[in-house]
Chain A
Amino acid sequence: MSVAELKERHVAASDTVNSLRERLKQKRASLLDTDVAGYARSQGKTPVTFGPTDLVCCRTLQGHTGKVYSLDWTSEKNRIVSASQDGRLIVWNALTSQKTHAIKLPCAWVMTCAFSPTGQSVACGGLDSVCSIFNLNSLCDKDGNLPVSRTLSGHKGYVSSCQYVPDEDTHLISGSGDQTCVLWDITTGLRTSVFGGEFQSGHTADVVSVSINQSNSRLFVSGSCDTTARLWDTRVASRAVRTFHGHEGDVNVVKFFPDGNRFGTGSDDGTCRLFDIRTGHQLQVYHQPHGDNDIPPVKTIAFSISGRLLFAGYTNGDCYVWDTLLAKVVLNLGSLQNSHEAQISCLGLSADGSALCTGSWDTNLKIWAFGGHRKII
């Protein structure tokens, strides 16, 4: 076949794909008989209301000398690992505010960190395009530094995000600027699977976030600068289970909803969205202007343990607490007393859901908990 003929077929195939996408979009729209807020209102639900001293900052973790970019809690109660522009990981006991480890990284340009399920290791990644694993029980070297216990090499671009597969310290999933996600076997240092990339269908721009399903660890979602989120089954690397369209800008963060059947996203378009993994439906858009028609990008999100609250950090320093059911902002942590003095770049809930940790460009981490009167029903 000649080049000219190939090009003709290419144009025809493009038209087919575009027309199918349009039909899909319309069919999906016809199935959206309600959103979460519409349904909740129809059931007579009313928004969560917080008193002025209900959610309070009860710890400020100081020690980083640069912007905090990432944080992760352990699966047992109280420890946090954080990564900073200062080229270090710090491991904290959030209850006592003590630092248990300060790890100087071989490459200072770190973007992400994660705690292993047993709490014995931490992982990080960044502009060096590798994931570095540190065993917290190792002896320090002669310079007082914790040695790297494993380097996971193979990405052809920066490592933007990483998370351990639950229940084992042996597998990690990373997302990268090379447009792929990778499932790693930490024991061997090898890639078990590559999701997307040059020879497989996948993201068409940088992957900037990943989130693993805690109830079914074979499933994970990825968020990308191609404006989509994708759901993957680790047994099937050749294609995504589903691609979620809707955002109009980079999807900066993805997080599974506590029930494992939905996930949330945050984007450069200033909105958060809730998607259903089984049907692919976009169930809710969380959008509110911040004043003066300002629509700052969403950089980080987290759900409370029941899913009733969605915490979202924006580039203008706001940290909205959304009532997920009614799609209403019920609090702005960014405007509370004792809050951060710069953008909140990362958020995470403790394993029992009793505390929220925020990490900020002001170099601090803060712990927030409910200090008001609790009514049990």
Chain B
Amino acid sequence: MQSDGSETLSPTTQRLQSFSAADTRGKHRIHAELKRLEQETRFLEEELEQLEKMENASSACKEILKGAETKPDPLLPITHGPLNPFWDRWFEGPQDSKGCRCWIL
């Protein structure tokens, strides 16, 4: 599948530059591109409308803080309980940290 767009030019600009004035074979391609742009326009207009009623970022930040501070987390030095003894299973029993060293050849 052709990869559109470079890092520096927008996909639409690149495509436009590749059309020559007498390139009637590209007519269907341009038409398809145009349809895609018109669809994109509708999506963007919808999004703008949604943003008019959108909450500020601080509401989401509040939720994140609440969640991250209340859920028990075995990797934190200070955390909410309950403590689960299985969290420490990595330090129990035979501690052969190299373990099985067979090489798969």
Residues of A within 8 A of B (CB): 3-4, 6-7, 9-11, 13-14, 16-18, 20-21, 23-24, 27-28, 31-36, 38-40, 43, 45, 48-51, 54-55, 57-65, 77, 86, 88, 90, 95-99, 102, 156-157, 178-179, 197-198, 201, 204-206, 226, 239, 242, 257-259, 261-262, 274, 276, 278-281, 283, 304-309, 324-325, 352-356, 367, 369-377
Q: Which residues of B contact A55 (CB under 8 A)?
A: 75
* Extra pairs beyond A179-B3, A352-B84 (16, CB < 8 Å): A24-B44, A24-B51, A38-B61, A62-B101, A201-B39, A279-B55, A304-B76, A305-B72, A308-B76, A325-B64, A353-B74, A355-B90, A369-B74, A370-B76, A370-B87, A377-B78
Q: Does B100 lie within 8 Å of A14, measured CB to CB?
A: no
Complex contact B27–A3 (CB within 8 A): yes
What is the count of residue pairs linking A and B with beta-carbon distances less than 8 angstroms?
Answer: 265
Chain B contact-residue range equals: 35 or more
Inter-chain contact B83/A3, CB cutoff 8 Å = no
Q: How far is the CA of A9 from the CA of B12 in the complex (A)?
A: 12
User: Which B residues from 55 to 105 make CB contacts under 8 A with A?
Assistant: 55-58, 60-65, 67-84, 86-91, 95-105
Task: Verify B38–A13 contact, CB threshold 8 A.
Answer: yes
Name the residue of chain B whose CB is nearest to the CB of A309: B75
What residues make up the interface of B, taking CB atoms closer than 8 Å to A? 1, 3-5, 10-13, 16, 19, 21, 23-24, 26-27, 30-31, 33-34, 36-41, 43-45, 47-48, 51, 54-58, 60-65, 67-84, 86-91, 95-105
Bound-state CA distance A249–B78 (Å) is 36
Complex CA gap A239/B44 in Å reads 12
The reply to whether A374 and B79 contact each other, CB–CB distance below 8 Å, is yes
Contact of A309 among B70, B76, B101 (CB under 8 A): B76
